[in-house]
Amino acid sequence: MPNITFNQSKIITIERHILEEQQIHPEATGTLTNILYDLALAGKFIASQTTRAGLSEILGATEDINIQGETVMKLDQLADQTIFRLNDHTGRIAVMASEEHEHLIPIPKGFPIGKYVLLFDPLDGSSNIDYNASIGTIFAIYRRLTTEGPGTMEDCLQPGRNLVVSGYLIYGSSTMLVYTSGSGVHGFTLDPSIGEFLLTHPNIQIPKEPKYYSTNHGNEIFWSPGVLKFTHWLQGYEPDQKPLSSRYIGSLVGDFHRTLLSGGMFYYPADTHDLHKPHGKLRLNYEAAPLAFIAHHAGGYASDGHHDILDIKPETLHQRTALYIGDTRLVRKAEEFINKFDS
Ligand code: AFP
């Protein structure tokens, strides 16, 4: 008979992990825990569809243009609908907002109104779908500020500092869910054979030694002198910094996930020439703030070049921002260059 040895490490499903985290908070009612369950379930569903994208008729652009002026892929709509329909009737959410919708998404009439607000980017990096590169879902959960009736715009326009939970799902060579509720950043990998997310990356901290920097060099012509000089600094043109290698997918979740696990930083600066992107391309509410919350709890930092992303109070639902995120020392250095050369 073969000698079978078992690895002594515990197998922890996402359900068990979330429940254990809930027990740390005696005041918890379980509502948040259930929202996380539903998001994990949405992730499984979206993952199952994305892996079939190359096979099925759902691949390809629809005729719709979303409010960001981008062509909407069918998978985006599917992901958007999945998250909405898993959360619209549960009595846990007061209002939702999605990167795919111009306006707030109210809870349909007849369903109970809850105390949390859910903002999400259902399928970020969707221009990569055709090329089989990593894409992802980003979510942000706040407590509502108003006390009764349907959730409002005020409930949605909160600074990232108020986040209760944020996380993302990455659909890559494996599917992962990474989230924080303020006590550590934890990563779970989907075992497709049993359909469970298992804890594979407990207490993620951004490695102290930065490995890569990540940015779209194709936009350099539109960058300010401070951003250009900072980029040269990262490339080792000054004696206090050894050159870093560069990696860029063009899918924020993929680029951020690599940064979180390998160390380094991602940045998408403000665009000085394109009047449509004076504040950068990325969305504060759906992309920058939730990832900034994760970076913060993993020992990192996120900035718009001047301020901590978590302190920015959004004025509109689809507000854009410049984003520098990852290793604290590198992001602070970016701020230093921008303040010195661009003011
Ligand atoms: P898509 O969802 O249109 O692919 O946009 C992805 C994204 O918002 C973000 O995920 C990337 O970091 C960024 O845009 C890439 O932008 P560039 O193509 O301009 O580098």
The vertex-189 CA angle with 186 and 195, nearest 5°, equals: 130
In the reported structure, the alpha carbon of residue 131 is separated from the centroid of ligand 1 by a whole-number distance in angstroms of 14
Rounded CA-CA distance 238/310 in Å is 30
Please list, residue by residue across 117-132, b when 16 or more beta carbons sit within 10 angstroms of its beta carbon and e when fewer do: bbbbbbbbbbebbeee
Pocket around ligand 1 at a 6 A CB cut-off: 70, 124-128, 216, 250-252, 255, 268, 281-282
User: The tokens of 32 are what?
Assistant: 């948040």
In the reported structure, the alpha carbon of residue 335 is separated from the centroid of ligand 1 by a whole-number distance in angstroms of 22
Candidates 124, 265, 287, 320: which one to mutate for ligand 1, based on the most atoms within 8 Å of Cβ? 124
pLDDT for 158-199, tens place per residue? 999 999 999 999 999 999 999 999 999 999 999 999 999 999
DSSP type of residue 185: E
Return the SS3 of 151.
Answer: coil
- Over its length of 343 residues, how does the chain's per-residue pLDDT go in tens digits? 556 555 557 899 998 998 888 888 777 788 999 999 999 999 999 999 887 766 555 455 555 666 666 655 578 889 999 999 999 999 999 999 999 999 999 999 999 999 999 999 999 998 888 888 899 999 999 999 999 999 999 999 999 999 999 999 999 999 999 999 999 999 999 999 999 999 999 999 999 999 999 999 999 999 999 999 999 999 999 988 899 999 999 999 999 999 999 999 999 999 877 665 667 899 999 999 999 999 999 999 999 999 999 999 999 999 999 999 999 999 999 999 999 999 7
Nearest CA to ligand 1 atom 17: 250
The answer to whether 142 and 116 are in contact (CB under 8 A) is yes
pTM: 0.92
Candidates 267, 281, 321, 323: which one to mutate for ligand 1, based on the most atoms within 8 Å of Cβ? 281
Atom of ligand 1 nearest to the CA of 283: 8
Handedness of CA 70, 75, 78, 83 (dihedral sign): negative
The answer to whether 104 and 223 are in contact (CB under 8 A) is no
Q: Where are the beta strands (DSSP E) in the chain?
A: 61-65, 71-73, 93-98, 105-106, 116-124, 135-143, 165-171, 175-180, 185-191, 196-201, 212-214, 245-246, 264-268, 282-283, 301-303, 320-321, 323-326
> CB-hemisphere CA count at 13 Å for 316?
9
Atom of ligand 1 nearest to the CA of 218: 20
Return the SS3 of 21.
Answer: helix
The answer to whether 255 and 244 are in contact (CB under 8 A) is no
In the reported structure, the alpha carbon of residue 153 is separated from the centroid of ligand 1 by a whole-number distance in angstroms of 26
In the reported structure, the alpha carbon of residue 252 is separated from the centroid of ligand 1 by a whole-number distance in angstroms of 6
In the reported structure, the alpha carbon of residue 26 is separated from the centroid of ligand 1 by a whole-number distance in angstroms of 40
Q: Report the Cα–Cα distance between both ends of the chain, in Å, rounded.
A: 73
In the reported structure, the alpha carbon of residue 129 is separated from the centroid of ligand 1 by a whole-number distance in angstroms of 12
Nearest CA to ligand 1 atom 16: 250
Candidates 121, 217, 252, 286: which one to mutate for ligand 1, based on the most atoms within 8 Å of Cβ? 252
In which order are the strands placed within the sheet that holds 185-191?
105-106, 93-98, 116-124, 135-143, 165-171, 175-180, 185-191, 196-201
Secondary-structure breakdown of the chain: helix, strand, coil percentages, each rounded to the nearest 5: 35, 25, 40
Cα–Cα separations (whole angstroms), residue 255 to 210, 246, 272: 14, 11, 23
